[in-house]
Amino acid sequence: MFTQRFITYGLRTDSYTKSVKVLYSKFLQQEVKEVEIPMPWGKVAGKLWGSQDKQPILAVHGWQDNAASFDNIAPLIMKHTPVLAIDLPGHGLSSWIPPGFMYNELIYILLIKRIKNHFGWEKVKMLGHSLNAMMVHWYGACFPKDMQYIIALDIFKFASMDPIAHITMFANTLEVFLKVEQNTVQPSYKTQSEIIKKAKKPGFPVLDDSSYKILMTRGTTRKEDGTYVINRDPRLRVTPMN
């Protein structure tokens, strides 16, 4: 009898836990809003976590990622302050920049300025990850009066390089870009697992499958024929110049 009660209690507890998770998931859905910010070349897409009545932290993801990078951390932050996580141009659900142009940190710095002006913020609160943890410091150096604070995840500053080596790398990057822009065809993939396998190529940090799946919520699109395409602009394969 005791064992049976224990099992019943366990089942009820498990059921209760699942119910809480469902309710919490529904709560998060109510607290998350898709955002589109108009730009001269199209739009910048994003996710606003939390109150729409307070100025949010502007969260900027790393190279080749998207706003979903913050899906696990934003719900914790929004308890105290809203979070606006954006897809950078060419990433996630945001528009690609016009043909013939190259993605670089200067575009992203100007983007922050555009977003600040769009919302009429007096100062910006920045959360940057990886490449753009470095970029937000660059923005702060250019516009110190614009900054309220900076939170940097993963990397703090641009790598220091020998000037001669940097010029050589800069030239090589431009050559690679001219080749990459000739082929912007988006290949199709039968499954998301195929995309995850491709992402785990040598030379790149390997994430667990659940992290890849989070990024794919904004990083891939399922077509009418059931196959998947990667939303990211192929020009982003070129290593950032700085």
Contacts by 185-193 with C-beta closer than 8 Å and gap 24+?
185/234, 186/229, 186/230, 186/234, 187/229, 187/230, 188/223, 188/225, 188/227, 188/228, 188/229, 189/227, 189/228, 189/229, 189/230, 190/226, 190/227, 190/228, 191/228, 192/216, 192/220, 192/228
Catalytic residue among 130, 160, 188, 211: 130
The reply to whether 130 belongs to the active site is: yes
Q: What gap in Å lies between CA 228 and CA 220, rounded to an integer?
A: 6
Q: What gap in Å lies between CA 121 and CA 119, rounded to an integer?
A: 6
Structure tokens at 136: 């937000």
Catalytic residues: 130
